Amino acid sequence: MMQDGSTLPVNRSRVIGLILFGALVVAIMTLKSLNEGWFEPRLPLPSDGKPVRVFFTLEHGCQCQMTVVANAESQLLAWKTPDELGLPLLRVNFDRR
């Protein structure tokens, strides 16, 4: 309210535009989630109740993320093989899971 008691007029086109924009965002996110299977059940990771080494990785990301992944991959190559440790290596790709 203004000092003289009157209210400011509401810009209806702005309100309608915001509502339409919100509806568009919701529609796009719904289509994206259906296409990429966000809500589909997935098989559990195979561990059979035994200890495993887990390596988290990415296929796509910003330059700093991919640098970390590349460095981790090079360190992983220097580790003992799963047969030597008796622990299988389970790779979890964030882009797919």
pTM of the model as a whole: 0.45
* Sign of torsion over alpha carbons 65, 71, 77, 81: negative
Neighbours of 1 (CB within 10 A): 7
- Banded model confidence at residue 14, pLDDT cuts 50, 70, 90: confident
Q: Which two tokens stand for residue 40?
A: 């589909």
- Per-residue pLDDT tens over the stretch 19-53: 999 999 999 999 988 888 778 877 776 777 778 88
- Per-residue pLDDT tens over the stretch 61-83: 788 888 888 888 888 888 776 66
Q: DSSP string spanning 18-72?
A: HHHHHHHHHHHHHHHHHHHTTTS--PPP--TTS--EEEEE-SS--HHHHHHHHHH
